[in-house]
Chain A
């Protein structure tokens, strides 16, 4: 703000504003640029050059090695994320529909209890959850992780849909009831067709949350069932052998690309999810 206050002329202060904004753009981009540059360098380039030096040889070896190491885990992440996202979104939509349009005695209390789940530090449920998964025979399986992500994603998915649906006028449901439509008909014919934006928000939110999860992944999986984040962490933090930073960075890019891609394609919904999920808390 001082930069604004000190400038008497409007054009000068505008130049200062643009300078700050552009500098910030560069700073925010540095890690991504460094990751990309490093991932295409040879180990020799890495040790002789610096972070932002251009590779003397553009080499895909880092990406090839990284993919060979993490591709199995990449598919694990997909096997976990896709069903968990779809199931938790579907349940969230139905829950939100009930909580906003078919309230009954106690439903508000339930919503309050569920809301707390958005803040729950998962450390307090890790042990019992792992005992339960063990009892169900789902320990260290991707199915177990799907289950866990659905359960602990419910709070947010329900919140999204409930907050979206409370803004739909009650009269719509009343009119449909008078027209003779029942609970599911109203949901399918009236409410769901109106829900496209919030479905997008919820899908994208859940996708980034679950894809980026590390805590559940590291606790509830082992070996072949690990998601990509856990595999990446293992790769980067193994102390055996010489560090291959190009491989590390390529692996980090592989782990980050799906969510980055979603962000670039559907950024509008991503931001809405962030603010809706966060501000509404």
Chain B
């Protein structure tokens, strides 16, 4: 086990072609679980292949522990990888699959047997050892693929979308199991996925990637509560964050966002009073669960009336869609209080929780410098005190 550090890693496939990876800077501690997440084609798999040594980087350095492994071949990096397709050797039995890497490394047969037994027990695949991969179910193949990685006891584990070939139910089961396994073994792990739920649930650290660039790197909580830009905000969270394009105005010295539902208008006071934001095209971001039904009077939060267009009960909660500023807005409400279609409801939200993004660049606005979580709570307190 070891730390992993990527220093300004770059990758191009040739002059003239766009960069596949641009100035990647990441570092994780020993035993941490790092998620690389992003849409397909964002470079996450390339980055993983570069860490594995299956592709060579064209700039920067990859450090495992204190060692620069950038020029090393995959076999010398002491890493193991689990593939999306599992990549089990089809002509070998499960046992031979697990043994293969150990045999090539010239481990003694006694030690190999011991290792296979340990891994098989850990993954509960002892009864499968003599079968061929073709005779196994998807979930079983997945375990064998993990077993092959575990048997090598490498410094770092790489997982390339290991759950995406499983059906929905099994995927959730295996997700929990992987988390348990990691808590037990405390292995340094890099995990590639396009599934934001896996990213949120499994990772100690998450790197959100797009177009070969790391958009944001932080804990799942930071990524969720404090997205660096419009892309991260839209990619993480399900149902996704609502985005309402509008223009900020200044009235009586206060910065206001005007929300219009056709039924009513609401002037939303914005907490960030920085100069230069008025008359600017912005996108207002609001998570569905931050919108609540107005409960009685006088909690001081701004409220707006709107007509319900569609409702989607999902079981634990009901998604209610209304129109604000000609944009479909999703509210996540408890099923017992959810309104009917056609009903007019009064919605409320904490202006301090609202995020602002530049309409042109997608960059987050009004977060300059200050530690954000604190700034927010301060603003809320200030607002409530008024």
Range of interface residues on B (Cβ < 8 Å)? 20 to 34
Q: Distance in Å from the Cβ of A12 to the closest Cβ of chain B? A: 46
Q: Is the interface of A mostly helix, strand, loop or mixed?
A: helix
Report the separation of the CA atoms of residues A4 and B62 in the bound assembly, to the nearest whole angstrom.
70
Q: Which of B98-106, B198-206, B319-327 contacts A (4 or more CB under 8 A)?
A: B98-106
Residues of A within 8 A of B87 (CB): 169, 171-172, 174-175
B83 at the interface (CB under 8 A from A): yes
Q: Are A177 and B74 in contact (CB under 8 A)?
A: yes
Bitwise, B204-238 to A at CB < 8 A (1) or not (0) is 00000000000000000000000000000000000
B240: Cβ under 8 A from any A Cβ: no
Question: Beyond A193-B91, A194-B90, is A175–B105 a contact (Cβ under 8 Å)?
Answer: no
- Tell whether, in the assembled complex, residue A179 and residue B90 are in contact, meaning their CB atoms are under 8 Å apart: no
Residues of A within 8 A of B49 (CB): 174
A266 at the interface (CB under 8 A from B): no
Chain A residues lying within 8 Å of B286, measured Cβ to Cβ, are none
B54 and A174 form a contact (CB under 8 A): yes
Q: Given known contacts A193-B91, A194-B90, is B104 in contact with A175 (CB within 8 Å)?
A: no
Render B78-89 as a binary contact track against A, CB cut-off 8 A, 1 for contact: 011101111101
Contact across chains for A171 and B84 when beta carbons are under 8 A apart: yes
In Å, the complex CA distance between A211 and B79 comes to 51
Q: Would you list which residues of chain A between 86 and 119 have a CB under 8 Å from chain B?
A: none
A176 within 8 A of B: yes
* Residue A23 lies at the interface, judged by CB distance under 8 Å to chain B: no
Q: How many A-B residue pairs have CB under 8 A?
A: 58
A152-176 toward B: CB 8 Å interface, digit per residue (1/0)? 0000000000000000010110111
- The answer to whether B84 touches A180, judged by C-beta atoms less than 8 angstroms apart, is no
A279 within 8 A of B: no
Q: How far is the CB of A163 from chain B (nearest CB, A)?
A: 18
Assess the B85–A169 pair: CB atoms within 8 A.
Answer: yes
User: Residue among B73, B79, B104 with the most chain A CB within 10 A?
Assistant: B104
**Is A178 positioned at the interface, with any CB of B under 8 Å from its CB?**
yes
Are A172 and B89 interface neighbours, CB within 8 A?
yes
When chains A and B are docked, how far (Å) is the Cα of A190 from the Cα of B74? 18
Across the interface, name the chain A residue whose C-beta is closest to B77. Answer: A178
A180 to B381 CA separation, bound complex (whole angstroms): 59
- Given the interface pairs A176-B89, A177-B54, A180-B75, the reply to whether A189 lies near B84 with Cβ below 8 Å is no
**Chain B nearest CB: distance from A170 CB in Å?**
9
In contact, A179 and B104 (Cβ under 8 angstroms): yes
**By the criterion CB–CB under 8 Å, are B81 and A178 in contact?**
yes
Taking a contact as CB atoms under 8 Å apart, the answer to whether A180 and B101 are in contact is yes
Q: For A105, give the chain B residue with the smallest CB separation.
A: B14
B257 in the interface (beta carbon within 8 A): no
- Complex formed: what's the CA distance from A60 to B382 in Å? 114
A129 CB → nearest B CB, Å: 38
B74–A178 CB distance below 8 A: yes
Interface residues in A, total, Cβ within 8 A: 16
Q: Are B83 and A177 in contact (CB under 8 A)?
A: no
Q: Chain A's nearest CB lies how many Å from the CB of B72?
A: 12
- The answer to whether B50 has its CB under 8 Å from any CB of chain A is no
Question: Which of B80, B85, B90, B104 interacts with A181 by CB under 8 Å?
Answer: B104
User: How many whole Å from A63's CB to the nearest CB in chain B?
Assistant: 45
Decide yes or no: A180 and B105 within 8 Å by CB, A169-B85, A171-B87, A172-B89 being known contacts: yes
Q: Which residues of B contact A174 (CB under 8 A)?
A: 49, 52, 54, 74, 81, 83, 87
Which of B74, B79, B83 is in CB contact (< 8 Å) with A171? B83
In the bound complex, residues from chain A placing their C-beta under 8 Å from that of B74 are: 174, 177-178
* Chain A nearest Cβ from B113, distance in angstroms: 18
Asked whether A176 and B81 contact (CB < 8 A) given A194-B90, A194-B91, the answer is: no
Instruction: List residues of chain B with CB within 8 A of the CB of A179.
Output: 75, 100-101, 104, 148, 152
Q: In whole angstroms, how far apart are the Cα atoms of A171 and B86 in the complex?
A: 8
Q: Tell me the bound Cα distance from A68 to B161 in angstroms.
A: 68
A174-B87, A175-B87, A193-B91 known; A180+B104 contact, CB < 8 A? yes
- In the bound complex, what is the Cα–Cα distance between A177 and B152 (angstroms)? 13
Bound: A167/B89 CA distance, A: 14
Query: Closest chain A residue to B154 by CB distance?
Result: A178
Q: At the interface, yes or no: A185 with Cβ under 8 Å from chain B?
A: yes
A175 to B148, CA, bound (A): 10
Closest to A177 in B: B74
CB-CB under 8 A from B73, the residues of chain A are 177
In the complex, which residues of chain A have a beta carbon less than 8 angstroms from the beta carbon of B83?
171, 174-175
By a CB distance below 8 angstroms, the chain B residues around A185 are 104
| Cα–Cα, bound, A194→B49 (Å) | 25
Which of chain A's residues 178-198 have a Cβ closer than 8 Å to chain B? 178-181, 185, 189-190, 193-194
Q: How far is the CA of A213 from the CA of B200 in the complex (A)?
A: 65
Contact: B75 with A178, CB < 8 Å? yes
Please provide the chain B residues from 121 to 161 with a CB less than 8 Å away from any CB of chain A in the complex.
Answer: 148, 152, 160
Q: Determine how close the nearest CB of chain B comes to the CB of A107; give it in whole angstroms.
A: 15
Q: How far is it, in angstroms, between the C-alpha of A177 and the C-alpha of B80 when the chains are bound?
A: 10
* Chain A residues, Cβ within 8 Å of B79: 178
Residues of B within 8 A of A178 (CB): 52, 54, 74-75, 79-81, 101
- CB proximity of A206 to chain B, nearest CB, Å: 24
A-B residue pairs in contact (CB < 8 Å), sample of 28: A171-B83, A171-B84, A171-B85, A171-B86, A171-B160, A172-B89, A174-B49, A174-B74, A175-B83, A175-B87, A175-B148, A176-B100, A177-B54, A177-B73, A177-B74, A178-B54, A178-B75, A178-B81, A178-B101, A179-B75, A179-B100, A179-B148, A179-B152, A180-B105, A181-B75, A190-B89, A193-B91, A194-B90
> Top 7 A-B pairs ranked by shortest CB distance?
A179-B101, A171-B87, A193-B91, A180-B75, A175-B87, A171-B83, A180-B104
